[in-house]
Amino acid sequence: MEVRIEHSWKEVLKDEFDKPYFGHLVSFLHQEKESGITIYPPGPKIFNAFELTPFNSVKVVIIGQDPYHNPGQAEGLSFSVPDGVTPPPSLINIYKEISDDLGVPLRQGGSLRDWARQGVFLLNAVLTVRAGQPTSHSRIGWQTFTDAVIRTLSDRRDGLVFLLWGNFARGKRELIDTSRHTVFEAAHPSPLARGAFFGCRHFSKTNEVLVREGLSPIIWA
């Protein structure tokens, strides 16, 4: 199956695109669109995380659940919204933790595209959603695909840092070879976690690992 995705990812995932489940997934999305259903993010941004962070550029993986379901928010990167859109509460809490952890001013703007370009792979486990219906595409095959993405990173790269926030993301730990990669876990940054995310210091800890691996640290602020 011909899938429009960044070349390096297309190469390492080529077997996945030919599996029956992926064909069913694509057919389902076409049917939704033909039925007049609005899907987020827009088609060209579904694989935005892959486009901005090629396979061999990945240094850090942050796993989200599914895209934002309100108009103008989803841009194909976990936790990120386009600049000009009010940052959602979880993203604001991420910014607060960065400020406290690194002793820097509170980050402004909602887009994390600059992280992606530095090697932070912002992967949602589910890559599409119906407008106004959270988790509506959680059972159409995306998780089979993104689980394969995580396994491929684990098997074919070394020294990555995986940030698993909340129980859903923590469930992906079993896909990661922890003898080859570093995994940091914390509560979800959502306000529903009642501040349990704060104090995890994942941003400074990640940079410490990257420097130890001989890689440039991420400019988080």
Instruction: Produce one character per residue of 131-153: b if its CB has 16 or more CB atoms within 10 Å, e if not.
Output: eeeeebbeebbbbebbebbbebb
114: annotated active-site residue? no
Helices (H) and strands (E) in the chain, counts: 9, 6
Instruction: Give the residue carrying structure tokens 């089979």.
Output: 144
Contact 130, 136 (CB under 8 A): yes
Of 15, 66, 114, 147, which residue is the catalytic one? 66
Residue 190: closest CA among 96, 73, 75: 96
> What does each C-alpha distance from 62 to 4, 130, 168 come to in angstroms?
22, 23, 12
Catalytic residues: 66
